[in-house]
């Protein structure tokens, strides 16, 4: 859903290439997600930490509102 249009653009910290691919991601706690990136250019792998802004609604809250509107 929104994850497709909001795909973050990352650059490889080793070669600076933008040809990176999000290989895997893991939510480590309620507000922090670790993304594992793979660089096609130099085969480097690196991890970025995405911290949720606490002012933004969480994914679960958005989903709940979505389903609620479907039921009405």
Residues near Zn ion, by CB under 5 A: 12, 14-15, 17, 39, 41-42, 44
Which residue lies nearer to Zn ion by CB, 15 or 33? 15
Six-digit token pair at 39? 């660089």
Cα atoms found within 13 Å of the Cα of residue 44, Cβ hemisphere only: 15
CB of 48 to Zn ion, least distance (A): 14
Six-digit token pair at 9? 């653009």
Which residue lies nearer to Zn ion by CB, 40 or 66? 40
Is-contact 65 72, C-beta < 8 A?
no
């Amino acid at each position: 859903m929104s994850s497709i249009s909001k795909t973050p653009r990352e650059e490889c910290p080793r070669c600076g290439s933008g040809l990176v691919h999000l290989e895997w991601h893991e939510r480590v706690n309620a507000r922090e997600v670790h993304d594992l990136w793979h660089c096609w250019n130099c085969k480097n792998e690196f991890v970025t930490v995405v911290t949720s802004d606490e002012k933004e609604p969480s994914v679960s809250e958005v989903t709940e509102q979505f389903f609620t509107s479907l039921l009405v």
